[in-house]
Amino acid sequence: NRPNPNTKHLLTRYRYGGTLDGKKTKLFRLWTAIRERIYNKNSRAYKYYGGKGLTLDPRWESYLTFKNDVEVRGYKEGCSIIRKDKALGYSPDNIRVIEGKVTGSMYAYKGNHFTINQLLTFSSNGISREGLCKRLDKGMQVELALSKPLMRRSK
């Protein structure tokens, strides 16, 4: 009865983000992706993160500390993490946990962050997705873009 040589390896992977079936958790993959963007100069995203001087909080060099910090802020499987201030790096004070998957830009509205499609549900003027994108790209504030009456062209 020799002990299985892989047991220690599996337990280590489980403790640091993997599961016993060998797959990494979403949160562990997120942590490694953040580190990749900040530190790896060969990463495609480096120029937008580490290349612009964004940093990772030194406490978050440890996955377990990162995991504890985001779980205290309400992270659970199926949530996403965004930075509150895009000019600052990743730190406990600069992140927000939101429900669902984040794709594309997030916009602050009524104290929360929303995607374009989520913002459309707040519209009082019947604006289209394309129209809202144009207004926001021009720098219009979210509240105004959602409430300003549409200009109809005369035929």
11-40 average pLDDT score: 75
**132: Cβ–Cβ under 8 A, 6 or more apart, which residues?**
116, 119, 120, 123, 145, 146
CA atoms of 144 and 124, how far apart (whole Å): 10
Distance of CA 36 to the CA centre of its chain: 14
Q: What percent of the chain has pLDDT over 70?
A: 81
So what's the pLDDT on residue 6?
A: 52
Q: Could you tell me the pLDDT band of residue 93, with boundaries at 50, 70 and 90?
A: very high
So what's the pLDDT on residue 121?
A: 87
Asked whether the predicted pLDDT for residue 69 surpasses 90, the reply is: yes
Q: What percent of the chain has pLDDT over 90?
A: 31
CA atoms of 122 and 124, how far apart (whole Å): 6
Distance of CA 73 to the CA centre of its chain: 14
**Cut 0.85: pTM above it:** no
Length of the chain: 155
So what's the pLDDT on residue 113?
A: 75
Per-residue pLDDT tens over the stretch 27-68? 888 899 999 999 999 999 999 899 999 999 999 999 889 999
CA atoms of 119 and 75, how far apart (whole Å): 22
So what's the pLDDT on residue 21?
A: 58
- To the nearest whole number, what is the mean pLDDT of the chain? 82
Q: Could you tell me the pLDDT band of residue 148, with boundaries at 50, 70 and 90?
A: confident
